[in-house]
Amino acid sequence: MQNKPTDAVGYAPSTLQLVRATILYIATKLGDLRDELVIVGGLVPGLLIPSSSLPAGSAAHVGTMDIDLGLAISILDEQRYHELCERLRNAGFEPDKTDDGRIVNQRWKYQVGTQTITVDFLIPPTLDTDKGGRLRNLESGLAAIITPGLDLAFRDKKLITIEGTTVSNESASREIWVSEAGAFVVLKALAFRGRGENKDAYDLLYILQNYGTGVKAVFDRLKPFLSDQHVQSALEILQQDFSDIDAVGIKRFAGFLGSQYDDEVRADAAAAVRSLILLCTK
């Protein structure tokens, strides 16, 4: 498994194209499971904010090197994970391995020539004793990462059409659920607090600075869920780690862009966060 780059330079457009081709391929194989699945993670910003909708001069989102796929709790009740597992295997996916050969059941891979695209499976907590980051074993060979707040992505989501060519060189067009801006910001804030990655900070700020008509549009997505404990936790994280020009989240966002010493870049990002916090706490 390769390490994720810590700056934007490490994300190649060709890799993003391959990731999009892979998720389109998955969508063609799991069509009747669509409502039990939602895309979260670094693929979301580019799907919610196509480059064609950006103002002139604005940079497109750099994309991602992997796919994060949220599984609904209902997939447990109906035991549809058997179908999920079987279809992915038949489609050429298999559990990934660590460098020392250990099987990683929560992350599956698909080989495209010399490149490997991975899919991480996530699932909301279902028990009071569930802790984020631990695994829920679904069946032999398939697991999902317990992810607090993931249920928000099933409540705040958008059906998006993905079209183009699959990794099998097939022309296709499919609709798939994608986390909307409100849930995405919450999940990225929680992820940043857990692992502190530059990319998480960048993904979060990219949405705040480029989604719809601005920060107010993100707030409108969040507003129905303000009483949710995970939203409140995310707002605390934003206040502590992203609301000041020298805060760790702002500096790591700027570092991802190669602008860690650019006061204007950091000030604009921190101002966007403060605007969201103010709207959420009025």
Residue ranges per structural domain of the chain: 8-179, 181-281
Residue type, 203: D
Please give the angle made by the CA atoms of 240, 181 and 62, to the nearest 5 degrees: 85
- Residue 145's pLDDT is 97
Can you tell me which residue has the tokens 């989102």?
A: 61
Q: What does the alpha-carbon distance between residue 200 and residue 184 come to, in Å, rounded to a whole number? A: 11
- Residue 114's pLDDT is 86
Token duo for residue 277: 């916090």
What integer is the mean pLDDT of 150-163? 97
What integer is the mean pLDDT of 2-9? 85
Secondary structure (3-state) at 261: coil
Residue 113 scores a pLDDT above 90? no
What integer is the mean pLDDT of 125-145? 91
- Residue 261's pLDDT is 81
CB neighbours (10 Å) of residue 104? Answer: 16
Residue 1 scores a pLDDT above 60? no
What integer is the mean pLDDT of 188-199? 96
- Percentage of the residues of the chain whose pLDDT score is greater than 70: 99
> DSSP letter string over 104-130?
EEEEEEEEETTEEEEEEEEE---STT-
Question: pLDDT band for position 2 (50/70/90)?
Answer: low
Residue range 77-95, pLDDT digits in tens: 878 889 899 999 999 999 9
Report yes or no on whether pTM surpasses 0.75.
yes
Q: Which of 150, 149, 281, 132 is nearest to 219 (CA)?
A: 281
Residue range 6-61, pLDDT digits in tens: 999 999 999 999 999 999 999 999 999 999 999 999 999 999 998 888 877 789 99
What integer is the mean pLDDT of 194-209? 97
- Residue 280's pLDDT is 97
Q: What does the alpha-carbon distance between residue 222 and residue 231 come to, in Å, rounded to a whole number? A: 8
- Which backbone phi and psi does 198 adopt, to 5 degrees? -55, -40
Residue 193 scores a pLDDT above 60? yes
Residue range 158-177, pLDDT digits in tens: 999 999 999 999 999 999 99
What integer is the mean pLDDT of 150-161? 98
**Pairing mode of beta strands 94-97, 66-71:** unpaired
What average pLDDT is seen over the chain? Answer: 94
- Residue 3's pLDDT is 73
Q: How far is CA 257 from CA 25, 183, 189, in A?
A: 31, 24, 18
- Percentage of the residues of the chain whose pLDDT score is greater than 90: 84
- Residue 275's pLDDT is 98
Residue 217 scores a pLDDT above 80? yes
> DSSP letter string over 190-250?
HHHHHH--HHHHHHHHHHHHHSTTSHHHHHHHHGGGTTSHHHHHHHHHHHHHHSSTTSHHH
Residue 117 scores a pLDDT above 80? yes
Token duo for residue 58: 């604005």
